[in-house]
Amino acid sequence: MALLDILRYPDPRLHKVAKPVTEFGTERLRKLVADMAETMYDAPGVGLAATQVDVHERVVTIDVTEAQEKLMVFINPEITWASEEKQVYDEGCLSVPGIYDGVERPARVKVRAFDVDGKPFEVEADGLLAVCIQHEMDHLMGKVFVEYLSPLKRNRIKAKLQKEERGMQRDAAQRAARR
């Protein structure tokens, strides 16, 4: 297993729409899922879409348990039902580090997906799991949660993250120059 690099907003690769997985049970797919899970747990986060690690396939890993003991893998997920009831949940994102804001989404969803071997399954979710499924599926469609926020908030977040990125690049260059 290996830790993967997580793309940071506003990286344009986060806006690519993921393609469906067509080959199941392969060593490549198993490795991708294992690497995504390791990356998600290390970050630490509760969900990760393949898009966030610059793999543009419809693969999501989720684990909303405190003990990180119930990894869920959704391949080619599709929401088949969403409640009319909405909820606002403070969301964060591994691609938008340190930023949290309220996003309104359906309170409950049903999702159909495949496991790594191509076996179909369905899950009905509410609470954090429902939010996480919807959030990660947005990534597969090239959407980042900050796009639900006002243009003013989104621009402030983008400017803040770009400034942090420039600082990290400057620090790395200074460390390299000292060697």
What is the greatest pairwise CA distance in the chain?
A: 59
Confidence (pTM): 0.92
Q: Span 138-146, mean pLDDT? A: 97
CA dist., res. 75 & res. 24, Å (int): 9
**75 within 8 A of 24, measured Cβ to Cβ:** yes
- What average pLDDT is seen over the chain? 95
Does 132 belong to an annotated binding site?
A: no
pLDDT in tens, 44-59: 999 999 999 999 999 9
What is the set of active-site residues? 136
Residues 6+ apart with CB under 8 A from 136: 47, 48, 49, 60, 62, 74, 77
CA dist., res. 146 & res. 133, Å (int): 16
Tally the residues of the chain: 179
pLDDT in tens, 68-105: 999 999 999 999 999 999 999 999 999 999 999 999 99
Cα angle for residues 73, 78, 83 (degrees, 5° grid): 110
pLDDT given at position 72 = 98
Does 135 belong to an annotated binding site?
A: yes
Full set of structural domains in the chain with CATH? 12-145 (3.90.45.10)
Does 15 belong to an annotated binding site?
A: no
Strand, coil or helix: 40? helix
pLDDT in tens, 30-44: 999 999 999 999 999
